[in-house]
Amino acid sequence: MSKIIGIDLGTSNSAAAVIIGGKPVVIPSAEGTSLYGKSFPSIVAFTKDGQLLVGEPARRQMVTNPEGTVIAAKRKMGTDYKFKVHDKEYTPQQISALILQKIKKDAEAFLGEKIEKAVITVPAYFNDNQRQATKDAGEIAGLQVVRLIPEPTAAALAYGLDKADKDLKIMVFDLGGGTLDVTIMEMGGGVFEVKATSGDTQLGGTDMDNAIVDYIINKFKEDTGIDLSRDRMAMMRVREAAEKAKIELSSLLTTEINLPFIAYDPRNNEPKHLNMTLTRAKLEELIRPIVERCRQPMMQALADAKMKPEDIDKIILIGGPTRMPIVREFVKQIMGKEPERGVDPMEAVAIGAAIQGAIIAGDIARDIVLLDVTPLSLGVEVLGGLTEKIIERNTTIPCKRSKIFTTAADYQTAVTIHVVQGERPMAADNVSLGMFTLSGIPPAPRGVPQIEVTFDLDTNGILHVSAKDLATGKEQSITITSTNKLSKEEIERLKREAELYAEQDRRKKEEAELRNEADNLIYTADRMIKQDLKDKLSGEQIEKINKAIQALKDALAGKDTALIKSRLDELKNILGEISAQVYSRVGSGTGSSSSSSYSSSSTTGSESK
């Protein structure tokens, strides 16, 4: 059975891992670890000449190509939002699929085998639409998503694999680039049971970056009168500098932000440079309101788990922002104890996903059971626009629940069932997962028909709904469809598009290798006529080689790969022929003792043709 890799698909950065010989190994990207501690920045770029860049290469050019660069696509997962790039639109699933495709490709190169299956992590507080979108992204990338696992659960698994027999109550505080999850778990006897989860899918390091960016551009405007917010390239430079400063101030008390030639003063057409000092104290002042927003989800998770801070044995911090002293101190103050320090916040989630993959594949011979919960209640809209909950939040999954409903009008022969997810009493205030109609109900006074609606929530936290008319026994199983859920046909189309990008990458690599070979041959041929065989070549031979060199150079100046190959082969043949002629003359001039040497040279020349 091929390996199942674990993927932490993050808002700002992603990571991947695999179990080899019973030990977790983080999968490196082709470019190596990025500045921000993970292998794969979650950035996708489309250059003006049609080139696709993913990860670190995309990050490096984002300042010079802001219009063609997509960041933080995860924040739009499960919505109908479209990213507009160079007159083309991309769904969040497509952008995420390109990141997953890059991870898949680099994992295959690292492991030396084809990768077809993955466990992908999602924020614990992701709703059904967001989870389904993540699964769709995996399929588009050519991966069978064998399991979606909440990020805090994965982190706890990574932390507790060697402690699975101990009885511990754990809080996982997962503050990433775009989301916050707070999960309370109990572990013992090889069982990891989630007791409660709470969070905010629109709270993370990106919000901190935004606060720093706002401070920088406002201060620059005060000092110079120039508003940088209208210049996309300048804003990308400021954002990159803000993120870098945030990271540096986790270990330093002060840092310098220097952005030369950030703008031109329209009054005198002189360049303006951005130079300022940012202290940790100022940073903490800027982001304190964002950090404070983490309090309510922490208290909610404890309340739902029926625990107090003193009941928690261990606190695990996950996500880049948890490296910041203000975040660690905030958690410590609320919980009354120091968070654990033996967990890498940037790798733990991917490692936990890899462990789950190895458990599924049978590569880890340990009895480990994960008992997860649904983060939000699931229900249907009933008369008056109210929400009737069928599965309550923090119910252990997988689970199946049913409720009996009836008609609201006399002689009604069909009912429309509107499925929603959330905690608000009014259905319109919750997330709509979809609608379907059950028809063919025998006419009867209102309140008489009995319609059983069943919600079946699988291990991935994805919902399946069925409805049954108890009078007739007529049953209809429904696959929830919503405006942002992709059909099988759409997924297949997007998979083909993703494969085209992979084919495009392969062709570009082949072209680069061909151009390198051509450059090397031009160098060799030039050296041959000017140094190595200068005294042994006739004027006619030199002219013939020079013409072939120039023809190849002309081909290299264009984009016709077939022409480059043709001109390359022509130069190879000419060099082979002339080399054979030269060595033939040398061989005949040295007597019979060299005849075998001549034969060898002749054979070599023939092969080079």
Quick one: 212 and 167 in the same domain?
A: no
The predicted model gives 458-469 an average pLDDT of: 84
Highest-scoring range by mean pLDDT, 301-315, 359-373, 404-418: 301-315
Which one of 242, 270, 290 terminates a domain? Answer: 290
Which among 8, 207, 243, 381 is annotated as catalytic? 8
Copy the structure tokens of residue 57. 């290469």
- Rounded to two decimals, the pTM is 0.70
**Is residue 174 among the annotated active site residues?**
yes
Band of the pLDDT at 480, cuts 50, 70, 90? low
Q: Give residue 248's domain range.
A: 205-290
Phi-psi region of 389 (alpha: psi -120 to 50; beta: other; left: phi over 0): beta
Which one of 462, 485, 508 terminates a domain? Answer: 485
Does residue 283 surpass a pLDDT of 70? Answer: yes
Quick one: 349 and 401 in the same domain?
A: no
pLDDT of 596 reads 31
pLDDT in tens, 51-62: 899 998 998 898
d(CA 481, CA 427): 17
The predicted model gives 375-380 an average pLDDT of: 87
Does residue 84 surpass a pLDDT of 90? Answer: yes
**Is residue 244 among the annotated active site residues?**
no
Residue 179's SS3 state is coil
CATH number at residue 90: 3.30.420.40
Q: Which of 41-50, 135-144, 439-448, 489-498 has the lowest mean pLDDT?
A: 489-498
The predicted model gives 418-423 an average pLDDT of: 87
Quick one: 461 and 493 in the same domain?
A: no
pLDDT of 165 reads 63
Quick one: 100 and 188 in the same domain?
A: yes
Quick one: 186 and 210 in the same domain?
A: no
pLDDT of 593 reads 37
Does residue 527 surpass a pLDDT of 60? Answer: yes
Quick one: 323 and 194 in the same domain?
A: yes
Does residue 82 surpass a pLDDT of 60? Answer: yes
Does residue 607 surpass a pLDDT of 50? Answer: no
Band of the pLDDT at 398, cuts 50, 70, 90? confident
d(CA 577, CA 304): 83
Quick one: 563 and 586 in the same domain?
A: yes
Which among 38, 74, 117, 246 is annotated as catalytic? 74
The predicted model gives 583-595 an average pLDDT of: 52
pLDDT of 38 reads 58
pLDDT in tens, 169-216: 999 999 988 889 999 999 887 788 889 989 888 899 999 999 999 999
Quick one: 284 and 315 in the same domain?
A: no
Q: How many domains does the chain have?
A: 4
* Percentage of residues of the chain with pLDDT beyond 70: 88
pLDDT in tens, 530-565: 887 777 888 888 889 999 999 999 999 998 889 999
Closest CA to 552 of 577, 520, 582: 520
Mean pLDDT of the chain: 86
Q: Which of 113-117, 279-283, 340-344, 450-454 has the lowest mean pLDDT?
A: 340-344
Quick one: 172 and 212 in the same domain?
A: no
Quick one: 298 and 193 in the same domain?
A: yes
Which one of 248, 274, 290 terminates a domain? Answer: 290
Residue 42's SS3 state is coil
Quick one: 80 and 172 in the same domain?
A: yes
The predicted model gives 462-482 an average pLDDT of: 76
pLDDT of 39 reads 73
| Residues 54/102, Cβ–Cβ less than 8 Å | yes
pLDDT of 254 reads 96
**Is residue 410 among the annotated active site residues?**
no
**Is residue 151 among the annotated active site residues?**
yes
Burial 240-275 (b: 16+ CB within 10 A, else e): bbbbebbbbbbeeeebebebeebbeeeeeeeebebe
Closest CA to 123 of 395, 357, 318: 318
Q: Which of 35-44, 293-302, 508-517 has the lowest mean pLDDT?
A: 35-44
